[in-house]
Amino acid sequence: MTPKIAPEISIAGRKIGAAHSPYIICELSGNHNGSLDRALALVDAAADTGCDAIKLQTYTADTITLKSDRPEFRITGGLWDGRTLHDLYDEAHTPWDWHAALFERAAKRGVTMFSSPFDETAVDFLDALGAPAFKIASFELIDLPLVAYAAAKGKPLVMSTGMANLSEIEAAVATARQYGTGEIVLLHCVSEYPARIADANVRVVPDLGAKFGCPSGLSDHTFGTAASVASIALGGCVIEKHFTLARADGGPDSGFSLEPAEFTALVKDCKDAWAALGHVHYDLVGSERTSRPFRRSLYVVADVKAGETFTRANVRSVRPGRGLPPVRLWDVLGKTATRDIVSGEPLSDDMVG
C-alpha cells in the first residue's frame, strides 16, 4: 500500500509548509496554576502575541500515570526533583471541564486551539469539542496504538520526536499514515526542561522534513528565541514554545516558558526570518533601484583640454554613477579628450577620442 504523504498540510484552514509563513504554537501546559480565570487570561494574552495556535494538554493524573510511591514513579533531578509523577500531573493538568470555555475563548479571539491527548478517552473528548488537530507529545510517540487511534479521527497530527530514535520515528510516521490522512508535522524536540542551547541541534529540523516528506519544525524548550529562529532559517515550518503570564508567578513549566512580550518577539522574529529567506535570484529588488545611481563611475577630476591625454591623474572611479562604468578605465587611459572638460564632469564616450 502506498503511504499517504502530505508535504503541505492545513489546520483549521491555515496552510503549513515551506511555502507559507511559519506556524507558531503557544503551549499553555500547566501554567494556569489551577485557576480557570488565569487559564482564560493566558488564552487572551497568547492571542495578543500573534501566534497561530494555542495548545492545551488533555489528561488527568490517573490517565497518564499511577498513584504510586515506588521509586520509578518519583522524579530525580531537574525542575521537579523529588515529586511523584501523579502529584506533578495532578497539579499540572488542565481540568476537562475547563476545555469548552477555553476553546470558546480562543474562537472568540480568532485563534486556533487544539491539544495533546494522552489516552484514547482524551482523543474522543477533544474530537467531540471540534479540535482541528491532535498533538502527539514526545513521551507518547512510542505509543503506537494511541497514534493510530488519534490518526483514525481523520485530522492532522503534530508529533514531537523527543527521545525517539530514527526507527521509533519511522514507526510512528508509518502508523499515522496507515490509519490517518497522511497529514503530519514532525517536531524535533529535546525533552529536557529547560534544554541547553548546545543540545538544540536544529539541523535535525530540515532533515526530518526531507526524510519523511512532511512539514517539520521545533518544539523548543531552550531559553530565549535563538533556537526557534535558527530552525526557521533552516527551513522549519512550525514552532511550539511554552507560554506564561509571568515566570515569577511560578507553575510547573514556568521556568522555561516565555512571557507575553518575549513570545510576541518570537512570533515576529520567526515570521521575519521566514520572510527574509525569499528565493534565489540576482535581479534588482525595488529598494535597490534607488541606490543604483550612486554606484561608482568614471569622472574627470582635473581640468582637461581638448587633445590632452587621459591619465590616472585626471580620471578616477568615484561615486555617483553618472559616468562610464569603472571597467572602462582601461579603455580610456592613454586616449585623448575630444573637447575641453571641466573637473567634476562625468566621463562619457563622446569625450574620448
Task: Give the distance from CA 98 to its chain's centroid.
Answer: 29
Domain ranges of the chain: 13-277, 286-351
Q: What is the pLDDT of residues 40-61, one digit of tens each?
A: 999 999 999 999 999 999 999 9
Nearest CA among 219, 294, 216, 287 for reference residue 253: 219
The band of 115, judged by pLDDT with boundaries at 50, 70 and 90, is: very high
Per-residue model confidence (pLDDT) at position 2: 65
Residues 247-255: what's their mean pLDDT?
A: 87
* Single-letter amino acid code for the residue at 148: A
In this predicted structure, which of 48-62, 98-112, 227-241, 249-263 has the lowest mean pLDDT?
Answer: 249-263
Q: Is the pLDDT of residue 218 over 60?
A: yes
- Cα separation, 274 vs 269, whole angstroms: 9
Residue 1 pLDDT greater than 90, yes or no: no
Decide if 13-277 and 286-351 have a common fold: no
pLDDT at 234: 97
What distance in Å separates the CA atoms of residue 318 and residue 323, rounded to the nearest whole number? 9
CA distances from 91 to 32, 83, 87, 115 (A): 10, 11, 6, 18
pLDDT band at 122 (very low <50, low <70, confident <90, very high): very high
Mean pLDDT of 159-186: 97
Does residue 348 surpass a pLDDT of 80?
A: yes
Correct CATH for 13-277 of 2.40.128.50, 3.40.120.10, 3.20.20.70, 3.60.21.10: 3.20.20.70
For domain 286-351, give the fold. Type Iii Antifreeze Protein Isoform Hplc 12 (3.90.1210)
pLDDT tens per residue, range 320-333: 999 999 999 999 99
Would you state the pLDDT for residue 193?
A: 87
- Distance (Å, whole) CA 188 – CA 206: 9
Average model confidence (pLDDT) for the chain?
95
What pLDDT score was predicted for residue 91? 85
pLDDT of 265 reads: 98
